[in-house]
Structure formats: C-alpha cells, structure tokens
Amino acid sequence: MQSSKNLCIYILAVVILAGIMRGDTETPEETRIDQYENYFEHQDIYLSFKDAVDYWLYGFNYDSPHTIGKQCVYLRKQNLTEEQMNYTSNFIKNGTWGKIQYNGTFCLISGVSSKGKERKKYNSINVTTPEYPGAWFMYNLIYSDYHNCSILRIPRMINGSGCMVLLTDHVVKTGPPAPCQAIYNHSCGKYHHFYQIYNSSCKKNPLHQ
C-alpha cells in the first residue's frame, strides 16, 4: 500500500500545483468530509465498485469539455481486485455508441483524519487510458452507500472540489437516494450548478443488455 500511497500523494500535489498555476478562482465547495473520520467507513473505493457491474454517470458539478456531445454515459466494470480496477466508459455520441478503455490503480489519499485516526482502506483511484497516452486522472471517493450511489471528488476541478455522481440501474431513474443527495448538497452543490448527463430515455449499448 505504501507505494500506491506515495504515488497518489505525488499526483495530488501536481494537481493542486496545476490549479494554482492556472489561477483558478472559482468558489470551492465544502471538502472537510474528504478526511473526516466519521465518513471513513463510507470511503472504501473497492467496496463501492464491488457489487455493481455498471454505474451510470448521473452528472457532476462542473462543466466538462470531455463530455460535450456525449449522452447516456455509463461505466462497465471489467475486472476488479482490492488493488485495481479496469473498466470502460460507454456513451452515445453523434448517434453512435462509443467506448474508452480505462485502467485504474487504487491508492490512499488523506490517510490520517484531522483527529489522528488512520485510514485503513483505499479511497482513491488513479486512472490512465490508451486513448490519451501519458495522461492520468484521479478520483477520490467521498461517499458511497455501497449499494446504489457513490460520489467521487475530482481534485483537478473547481479548486479541488469537483464532484461526480454515479448511480446504479436500481435508482438512476429516480435520482440519488436521500442520504447520498444530502451529502452531495452539503459537499458539492452549494455554489455550483449540477450538470445532469443521464436522462430517462437512456438505455445501455445493446451488446450489454
């Protein structure tokens, strides 16, 4: 776990430095939940993906150029271990189904709470893709109910307070369950608009049905 932890700390430092160099001035959201020990039990990123084969990208609190023109985006898990996860992002663009392969390594961010409690489980994933050689993306889990809803923090967005909401088939048509929605409102939705990607007409690629 130590090597993964060191890698994540390095990447997070680079992300923060990049934001400073860009001169990001957007109002940040409340991020204390990210390292608040009472929520460590909801931040095991392996468990958040363990049972669900697919997760719909319900939406996020920032404008994402990467998602422009894409509809009905969902993540399909290919393989999962306690150390890593490979998956595809599936989407409709210009009326045609497409997908991007991602390879992720779990790691540790904010390993000790403000009160000194040590985190025991990975709470972050560092992702690369053959689509963009040399690029990497970091997603930190801030809350999961381990059944239907997960909220991921995107450090490179909104001064470190970008958020993405993932939902399973069971709840996506009605939206996040109340506890998950409450966490989003408090930690992601005070100052930024929610961009919903999923719509009620979305269906999966016929190859996955």
Q: Can you list the domains of the chain with their CATH numbers?
A: 2-198 (2.40.128.20)
pTM for this entry:
0.87
pLDDT at 124 over 60: yes
DSSP one-letter string for 69-128: TEEEEEEEEEEE-SSEEEEEEEEEETTEEEEEEEEEEEE-SS-B-TTSPBP-S--EEEEE
What is the rounded average pLDDT of the residues 111-125?
A: 84
Model confidence at 16: pLDDT above 50: no
Instruction: With beta carbons less than 8 A apart as the criterion, state whether 162 and 154 touch.
Output: yes
| pLDDT over threshold 50, residue 20 | no
Report the alpha-carbon distance of residue 20 to residue 116 in Å, rounded. 28
pLDDT at residue 15 above 80? no
Quick: pLDDT tens for 50-69: 999 999 999 999 988 888 89
So what's the pLDDT on residue 162?
Answer: 95
How confident is the model at residue 136, as a pLDDT? 85
Q: What is the pLDDT of residues 149-198, one digit of tens each?
A: 999 999 999 889 999 999 999 999 999 999 999 999 999 999 999 999 99
Per-residue CA distances from 29 to 99, 149, 158, 162 (Å): 31, 20, 8, 8
CB 118 within 8 A of CB 111: yes
User: What is the distance between the alpha carbons of residues 84 and 37, in angstroms, rounded to a whole number?
Assistant: 24
- Per-residue pLDDT tens digits for 32-49: 899 889 999 999 999 999
Predicted pLDDT at 209: 63
Give the DSSP H or E segment for 21: helix 2-22
Per-residue pLDDT, averaged over 96-101, amounts to: 96
Q: What is the pLDDT of residue 123?
A: 96
User: What is d(CA 208, CA 206) in angstroms, rounded to the nearest whole number?
Assistant: 5
